[in-house]
Copies of this chain bind each other. A is one copy, B any other.
Amino acid sequence: MSAPVGERRRDAERTRAEIVWVATDEFAERGYSGARVDEIAARTRTTKRMIYYYFGGKEGLYLAVLERAYSEIRAAERTVDVDHLEPAAAVRRLAEVTFDHHEAHPAFIKLVGVENAQHAKHMGHVAGLVDLNSSAVALLRNVLERGRAEGLFRDDVDALDVHMMISSFCFFRVANRHTFGALFDRDLLDPARRDHYRTMLGDLVTGYLKR
């Protein structure tokens, strides 16, 4: 925020963070092979040398980017408190949180696409990722269990399937907005239609769960 121009300051943490920040945007926007190490360096206040100093290379930097991106979701997901809501409302709330999160983090969505394009071969190298996402599904599993116990939900639904259903809708809306817009002349991210889609997702999921 206040780095004196032309003066050399030593601040390892800031340098690291700034590199990861810029790289996130660059990898998300241009893909793994499309991203240029020189370009990332140019957009930071430091040099390419630092990327190799801190991250070893392009791949190491990409790994750091993936790790940070996923840690940020974790923080967002933790804010959800659904225990005091009735089952249907809780499911709807969870879907909305995913909906909002996807919309607010297009760069993350793009990274998911980039990682899939590489058959998720880097994901295994990011520690704690699995536990992280599993816990998110566990939350949903509990709600479904409650709904079943109260006789409100079908008893043949799997939490992971519901999670997939919710993610599909939210992911597609953000990830494919360009081709969808080009083909059907409809901007899926138009703010005027935001509430419509949010409600639609809730209806879709709760409608599926009701017995």
CB distance from A153 to the nearest CB of B (A): 13
Segment of A16-24, A50-58, A85-93, A174-182 engaged in the interface with chain B: A174-182
Contact for A182 among B123, B164, B203, CB less than 8 A = B123
User: Given A133-B184, A184-B137, A208-B207, A172–B168 Cβ distance below 8 Å?
Assistant: yes
With A33-B31, A180-B164 as known contacts, state yes or no: A117 contacts B124, CB within 8 Å: no
**A171 and chain B: residue at smallest CB distance:** B172
- Of A6-14, A38-46, A108-116, A144-152, the one contacting chain B is A108-116
Kindly supply a per-residue 1/0 record for chain A positions 87-131, scoring 1 wherever the CB is within 8 Å of any chain B CB and 0 otherwise. 000000000000000000000001011111101100110000110
Majority-rule SS of A interface residues: helix
Smallest CB-CB separation from A33: which chain B residue?
Answer: B34
Say whether B113 contacts A117, CB under 8 Å.
Answer: yes
B184 touching A134 by the CB < 8 A rule?
yes
Contact B183 A129 (CB under 8 A): yes
User: Which of B31, B129, B197 is in CB contact (< 8 Å) with A117?
Assistant: B31
When the two chains form their complex, are residues B168 and A124 in contact, meaning their CB atoms are under 8 A apart? Answer: no
Verify if A76 is at the interface (C-beta below 8 Å from B). Answer: no
Given A200-B161, A208-B204, also A124-B182 (CB < 8 A): yes
Given contacts A33-B30, A34-B34, contact A164 B188 (CB under 8 A): yes
Point out the residue from B31, B129, B133, B164 that lies within 8 Å of A172, measured CB to CB.
Answer: B164
Query: In which size bucket is the chain A interface?
Result: 35 or more
Question: How far apart are the CA atoms of A107 and B164 in the complex, in Å?
Answer: 21
Q: List 25 A-B contacts (CB under 8 A).
A: A30-B117, A31-B31, A31-B34, A33-B33, A33-B34, A34-B34, A34-B117, A113-B113, A113-B116, A113-B117, A114-B117, A116-B179, A120-B178, A124-B182, A130-B182, A133-B184, A137-B184, A160-B184, A160-B186, A161-B200, A164-B180, A164-B188, A168-B171, A172-B172, A175-B175
